[in-house]
Amino acid sequence: MSLTAADVAEIMRLVEESHFDEVTLEVDGMKISLRRGQGAAAAAAAVGVDAGAGPADGAAQNAIAAQRAGTAIATPAGPSSAGSAAASNPNAKDVTSPLLGTFYRAPKPGAPPFVEVGSRVEEDTVVAIIEVMKLMNSVRAGVRGTVTEILPADGTLVEYGETLLRIKAG
Amino acid sequence: MPIRRILIANRGEIAVRIIRTCRELGIETVLAASEADRDSLPARLANRTVCIGPSRPTDSYLKVETIVQAALGTRADAIHPGYGFLSERAALASLCEAEGVIFIGPTAAQIEAVGDKLRARAEAEAAQVPVVPGAAVESVSEAAAAAARIGAPILVKAVGGGGGRGMKRVDRLADLPAAVELAAAEAGAAFGDARVYLERFVASGRHVEVQVLGDGAGGAIHLGERDCSVQRRYQKLVEETPAPGLSAALRQALHEAALRFVRRLSYRGAGTVEFLVDRDSGAFYFLEMNARIQVEHPVTEAVTGVDLVAEQIAVANGDGLRIKQADVHPRGWAIECRVNAEDPEHDFRPSPGTIREVSWPMAEGIRVDTHIAAGSRVPPFYDSLMAKIIAHGPDRATAIARLRRAIADTRLTGVASNLAFQACVLDDAEFQAGGVDTGFVARMLEAGPKQMKARHG
B182-211 pLDDT, tens digit per residue, is 888 888 887 778 888 898 888 899 999 999
- The mean pLDDT of B64-82, rounded to a whole number, is 98
Cα distance between residue B42 and residue B30, in whole Å: 10
pLDDT at res. A7: 75
pLDDT band at B451 (very low <50, low <70, confident <90, very high): low
Nearest to B227 by CA among B240, B238, B237, B210: B240
Radius of gyration of the CA atoms of chain A, in A: 16
CB B407 within 8 A of CB B319: no
Cα distance between residue B193 and residue B238, in whole Å: 31
Nearest to B293 by CA among B1, B13, B7: B13
Distances (CA, A) of A62 to A34, A127, B48, B121, B311: 12, 22, 29, 33, 36
Which residues from chain B sit within 8 angstroms of residue A164, using beta carbons? none
Q: Which domains does chain A have, with CATH numbers?
A: 5-72 (no CATH), 77-169 (2.40.50.100)
- The mean pLDDT of B2-27, rounded to a whole number, is 98
- The mean pLDDT of B281-289, rounded to a whole number, is 93
A73, A133, A159: residue with CB nearest B50: A159
Residue of chain B whose alpha carbon sits nearest to that of A102: B73
In this prediction, the residues of chain A whose per-residue pLDDT falls under 50 are 38-83, 85-86
A159 touches chain B (CB under 8 A): yes
Residue of chain A whose alpha carbon sits nearest to that of B67: A100
B52, B73, B95: residue with CB nearest A102: B73
Check residues B87 and B159 and name the one with the higher pLDDT.
B87
Q: Is the complex ipTM more than 0.90? A: no
Q: Is pLDDT above 60 for B27?
A: yes
Nearest to B148 by CA among B113, B174, B111, B122: B174
- Kindly determine whether residue A99 and residue B66, on different chains, have CB atoms separated by under 8 Å: yes
> A11 vs chain B: nearest CA distance in angstroms?
27
Task: Determine what percent of chain B is predicted with pLDDT higher than 70.
Answer: 96
Q: Is pLDDT above 90 for B439?
A: yes
pLDDT band at B457 (very low <50, low <70, confident <90, very high): very low
pLDDT at res. B336: 98
**A/B interface, count of CB pairs below 8 Å:** 45
Q: Which domains does chain B have, with CATH numbers?
A: 5-104 (3.40.50.20), 133-200 (3.30.1490.20), 205-456 (3.30.470.20)
- The mean pLDDT of B387-406, rounded to a whole number, is 98
Which residue out of A64, A68, A160, A164 would a mutagenesis test of the B interface target, given it has the greatest number of B Cβ atoms within 10 Å?
A160
CB B88 within 8 A of CB B111: yes
Distances (CA, A) of A151 to A90, B51, B299: 19, 17, 48
Which residues from chain A sit within 8 angstroms of residue B73, using beta carbons? 100-102, 156-157
Question: Which residue spans within B142-204 are E strands per DSSP?
Answer: 154-158, 168-170, 196-200
- Kindly determine whether residue A133 and residue B53, on different chains, have CB atoms separated by under 8 Å: no
Q: Quick count: other Cβ atoms within 10 Å of Cβ B395?
A: 10
This prediction's pTM:
0.80
- Kindly determine whether residue A159 and residue B69, on different chains, have CB atoms separated by under 8 Å: no
Is residue B292 part of the annotated active site? The answer reads: yes
pLDDT tens digits, A97-145: 999 999 999 999 999 999 999 999 999 999 999 999 999 999 999 999 9
For chain B positions 47-86, those within 8 Å of chain A (CB to CB) are 50-54, 59-60, 65-66, 68-70, 73-74
Distances (CA, A) of A116 to A105, A162, A170, B354: 9, 19, 17, 43
- Kindly determine whether residue A133 and residue B95, on different chains, have CB atoms separated by under 8 Å: yes
Backbone angles phi, psi at B267, to 5 degrees: -60, 140
